[in-house]
Amino acid sequence: MNISSNKTLNIGWLYPQLMNIYGDRGNIITLQKRCEWRGIKAKVLRLDVGFSTKDLEKCDLLIMGGAQDKQQEKVAEDLFKKRNVLKKIIEKGIPGLYICGAYQFLGNYYKEANGHVIEGLEIFNIHTENPGENKKRLIGNISLESSTISYRLLGFENHGGRTYLGNGIKPFGKVLKGFGNNGEDETEGAIYKNSFGTYLHGPILPKNPKLADYLIEKALEIKYKKKITLEILDYSLEEKARMAIAKRLQVTI
């Protein structure tokens, strides 16, 4: 058993200024605090438009959220320039959590309702299609069986785009209640190496502490090249919050 204190964790927060409209900074806060409570020094690197790839390479864990269209365009422009570095980092197995717009952007392309196709980073073998204003957006509380850890995840989804998984890419979870990637195939999100893409807001990490801890452990293991076991923190408040939503969705957790 390795104790986790005296360790540091560099968390790269991609585009905090532009991609932060959805309470997603709660994911950063959760990671920071869960490290702090265990004596792990967490440093958050804010990587805004124009950031240096040297800083990106310093990161042990990457987090990126969603945004409004205009902001996403600016991000796309910037991230395209750094695509190869990001791809190398993801291929290397550096863990990351990519939410909503970020998740879509990691894919091959995004097809808008009018047929216009927006190129993605082509790191995840997925693509997204938006059927347009006339089709209902996929909105609501959602529950999934995680593909990675033995845990049921709870969150809130709100997306117009329908995402479809290609070959060689696993879903992030199996939908128990809610829509997931496209409301058809019961998959939610995607996993590639140690990178997780998902539509779950909430934000996802506070109410799914086991996922937060999984990401921290994974990042530390890769960094320090040995198995890390994190001290268990009190889950009682999280459990009460989870039970309340699970009851509403009529799922067991």
Partner 1 sequence: MNNFSIFLGKSISYISKHLNLGHGSTWPGHIALKLNSDFITDLFKNSQTKIIFITGTNGKTTTAKMLETILKIAGKKVFSNISGANLLNGIASSLITNCSISGEINADFAIFEVDENTLPLITKNIKPDFIIALNLFRDQLDRYGELDSIAKKWQITYKDLNHTTFILNADDPKIAYLGNGNKNAYYFGLSDKTLETKEKQHASDSMFCPRCGENLYFDYFYFSHLGKWSCQNCNLTRPKLDLDSFSFYPISGTYSKYDTLAAALTAKKLGIPNAIIINALKKFKPAFGRQEKLVVKDKKIQLFLSKNPASFNESLKTINEEKPKNLLIALNDRIPDGTDVSWIWDIDFENFISTDTKLFLSGDRVYDLALRIKYAGISREKYKTFENLEDAIHAGIEATNKMNTFYILPTYSAMLETRKILTGKKIL
Q: Which spans of this chain sit near partner 1 (rule: CB under 8 A)? A: 17, 20-26, 29-30, 33, 68-71, 74, 137, 139-141, 156, 158, 201-203, 206-207, 237-238, 240-241, 244
159 is catalytic: no
Q: For partner 1, which is the closer residue by CB, 86 or 204?
A: 204
Name the catalytic one among 59, 100, 127, 159: 100
Q: Is 59 a catalytic residue?
A: no
Of 43 and 193, the one with the shorter C-beta distance to partner 1 is 43
* CB-nearer residue toward partner 1: 94 or 209: 209
Nearer to partner 1, 42 or 165 (CB): 42
Gap between the Cα atoms of 82 and 88, Å rounded? 10
Q: How far is the CB of 192 from partner 1 (least distance, A)?
A: 25
Minimum distance from residue 21 beta carbon to partner 1 (Å): 6
Q: Which of 35, 59, 159, 201 is catalytic?
A: 201
Nearest-approach distance from CB 161 to partner 1, in angstroms: 12
CB of 240 to partner 1, least distance (A): 4
Catalytic residues, by residue number, are 100, 201
